[in-house]
Copies of this chain bind each other. A is one copy, B any other.
């Protein structure tokens, strides 16, 4: 039984990780500033003797005693991270420095939630971890992309210099219950639009691709990575690639209803193709995604339906 800190644990991915680690019997401490997370995501654990929720912003130092850290604190969707770019960079630089400083002091293992965005708009396809990426350092997505890149750089600098044990998960697009309804991302937009019988908005020509992973697969991968001895970055994502156009069709069919699909203005620096090469994860973690898209989407659609009903 370990004492495990999850920064950003009140968010979408973090709260599922909390569930798994609590069920495994660990002591779990969540640190969150509730920028994009909410208490409700972990409300079912409040009052449990193994659970603690700390309202704290990770850009400020944090002094607690723990064995492992999952460092997820950071806005994740473009509208959220572009809302306050300066804060996004501070969270991913100063926040990561504090987490690594804490890990160094208490000799905790740290898993950093990095992202496929470190590859930017990739020129290599699919993306292996050895690919250096293609990122605009001063573009609209840079606060997140460069923030995450330097947070990886920091991790390996602390690993080499201070012997901190780090694990780096490069997470690809993930969806599932508790994802934000209004984060402007494709999964939530399309499901909401379909549920509300509104037009489904495809940005640009819809030929850009993404690969969508269900959140339980990601959580399994993160726990496997933390437990493993492998220290280089590992892609965690579902290699089944989808064009956004096709994805719109799939959502429309699963939800049913009369929504039209319409192309609208393309967004700046939108990565054109994204698909993880998961050879490393398969080999070193014996991990691969298990949940088929349709099954995962059905769960997510039903979550959204309930949420909409609640708010009515």
Contacts and interface: CB of A to CB of B under 8 A. Distances in A.
Given A93-B94, A154-B86, A120 B138 contact: no
B157 A85 contact: yes
Contacts of A143: 153, 157
B150 A86 contact: no
Number of copies: 2
Interface string A139-163: 0001100110110111011101110
Interface in A219-252: 232-233
A35 interface: no
Contact of A138 (B86, B88, B152, B158): B152
B142 A132 contact: no
Contacts of A29: none
A134 interface: yes
Given A86-B161, A132-B136, A142-B157, 18 more contacts: A84-B161, A85-B160, A85-B161, A86-B157, A86-B162, A89-B97, A89-B153, A90-B97, A93-B93, A93-B150, A132-B134, A137-B150, A138-B156, A138-B232, A138-B233, A143-B153, A147-B153, A149-B150
Interface of A: 84-86, 88-90, 93-94, 97, 118, 120, 132-138, 142-143, 146-147, 149-150, 152-154, 156-158, 160-162, 232-233
21 contacts: A84-B161, A85-B161, A86-B157, A86-B158, A86-B162, A89-B97, A89-B150, A89-B153, A93-B150, A94-B94, A94-B97, A132-B134, A137-B149, A138-B153, A138-B232, A142-B156, A142-B157, A143-B153, A143-B157, A146-B149, A149-B150
